[in-house]
Amino acid sequence: VNDSKDRKWLELYRKNPSERVITTAYYALVKMDDFVPNPASFAGEALWWDIQDVPELAFDHNEIVEVALWKLQRHFELNKSGYELLPRKFTLNQLQQLHQAITQEELDKRNFRKKVVRDKLVEATDEKQDNVLHKPARLYRIKV
């Protein structure tokens, strides 16, 4: 791979008593419903974890997860990567949940909505949610 953006973003090695271990990690944003994690040949299982609940991992893998989250958060700040995880039309609550999941910060609902309107990142549609038990919320889409 010649493009540095496509190269592995993190390589660390730690000495194993019997051999060297080189860890290469990539991160990607995927819709969980569209992806089934498959364990590697040496793993018993592969599971989804909430980022704050990741258990103790081998070698320096917890550090790698932390660095990946940090890189995702920086990338999100710059270009709002992650919006592709939203449905084509979404509620402001769904958008806020996405922001909170990536930034790992609890956001005030009113301030968040003011910021979204001020930054003009999304535009309101004339549609509202359907098939919900509560008052239907207005739907929005990413402004292009």
Helix axes 61-79, 92-103, angle to 10 degrees: 140
CB contact at 8 A, 129 and 136: yes
Instruction: Determine the 3-state secondary structure of 94 from DSSP.
Output: helix
Classify 66 in phi/psi space as left (phi over 0), alpha (psi -120 to 50) or beta: alpha
pTM: 0.74
pLDDT at residue 1 is higher than 70 = no
Tokens of residue 34, six digits: 């569209």
What pLDDT, on a 0 to 100 scale, did the predictor assign at position 4? Answer: 60
The residue with greater pLDDT, 126 or 14, is: 126
Task: Map out the domains of the chain with their CATH numbers.
Answer: 1-79 (no CATH), 82-144 (1.10.10.10)
Burial state string for 82-110 with b = 16 or more CB within 10 A and e = fewer than 16:
bbeebeeebbbebbbebbeebeeeeeeee
Average pLDDT, the chain: 85
Give pLDDT, residue 9: 46
Long-range pairs, 49-55, Cβ under 8 A, ≥24: 51/101, 51/104, 52/104
Question: Model confidence at 13, in pLDDT bands (50, 70, 90)?
Answer: very low
Task: Look at residue 19 in the predicted model and tell me its pLDDT.
Answer: 63
- CA triple 13-16-21, angle to 5 deg: 35
Residue 108 above 90 pLDDT? yes
Q: CA-CA distance, 6 to 125, in Å (whole number)?
A: 36
